[in-house]
Amino acid sequence: METPVQEDCDRYLGGNLRAIVEGIARSERFSDFSLEVTQASAKGDNYLGLILRVRISGRRDGKDLDSMSVIVKREQENEEQRAVVMVFFSNEAFMYGEVLPAFQKLQKEVGVLEDEAFSGTARWFASDESDSTVRLVLEDMSARGYRLGDRLEGLDPAHCRLVLRQLGRFHALSFAMSDQRPLELQRLRSGIKETIFCIDSEGAIAHFHKMINNVSSILPNKFAAESKYVKRFQEFSANYVERMIDLVNGEAAEPYAVICHGDCWTNNYLFKYSEVRLIHGLPYDLQRSQFVAKQLLCNNIVII
């Protein structure tokens, strides 16, 4: 359920965001319109920033009153966090603004049939890169009947099959572009930055070390020191971060590396239903997109 944001639009639509949303309203033929901002996600649904719904209400084509909404993704109001999360927002802006349009263009030009094409994306209106930050304005997919899965329940086999089928089509586009437009793929992959497992990501690496230490401190309370579970975790965690930094090196995984979602789990996928029947789904959060070996997808399949 939506929770109204108490402050006015100016607080949440800073930088060029308000001008962008007003431009969208005019392009959608609204006049004499007003803007209303509400929270678009429940507590715990998004970890890196704010997801806001901006409702545009006014006269359309100068006639009857009408409304539409867009989604704004922006950072939390925290100066320290802003510097940390900007690489995530930059990645997502690049995916929506450059990668996905290039993939769609390739599919269209080579004649991929509609029912075989990768088509699961929200419409990207614009990105605001003012104020040393990056914010996105996207189509509100709830207006078309899409909603998040339940992150506590996970996904059943039907949902997993749909997700895997779409990811297969998405990954195939990297291979097709590598074969037919290698310079374009090189441009696209160079614009995607590793957000977590990189040497200069001190905060993320410290976070993983902290989690490893927490588990290490708990295990002796559950299992004997010589237990195979304790020993296996010690072996696993000894150089976990270093191994992950190597694993996310797409160049080392060539020719099997692809542009992938990077964080494909229940909370980052939208689904649409006809009554109770699942009919479509689409990936939504692209902030952790990577150029890596496609096998790393298995890491998230365990989660969904």
Which range in 93-107, 156-170, 247-261, 272-286 is most confidently predicted, on average pLDDT? 93-107
Segment 140-159 shows an average pLDDT of: 88
Instruction: Give residue 104's pLDDT band: very low, low, confident or very high (50, 70, 90).
Output: very high
Q: Which residue type occupies 246?
A: D
pLDDT over 90 percentage in the chain: 42
| Single-letter amino acid, residue 165 | R
- Measured CA to CA in angstroms, residue 195 lies from 32, 44, 185, 282 at distances of 42, 20, 20, 22
What backbone torsions phi and psi does residue 137 show, to the nearest 5 degrees? -120, 120
- Residue 304: pLDDT above 60? no
Q: Is the pLDDT of residue 97 over 70?
A: yes
Domain regions of the chain by residue span: 3-196+248-301
Tell me: the pLDDT tens digits for 226-275?
Answer: 888 888 888 888 888 888 888 888 888 888 899 999 888 888 889 999 88
Closest CA to 58 of 29, 26, 34, 24: 34
Q: What is the pLDDT of residue 302?
A: 43
Torsion of CA 166, 73, 91, 211, to 10 degrees: -90
pLDDT of residue 173: 95
Distances (CA, A) of 171 to 152, 185, 187: 27, 12, 17
CA distance 128 to 122: 17
- 37: tokens are 């901002």
How far apart CA 18 and CA 8 sit, in angstroms, is 12
> Given a cut of 50, is residue 6 above it in pLDDT?
no
More confident residue, 22 or 195: 22
Residue 225 contacts residue 233 (beta carbons within 8 Å)? no
Distance CA 17, CA 20 (A): 5
For residues 49 and 78, what is the distance between their CA atoms, to the nearest angstrom? Answer: 10
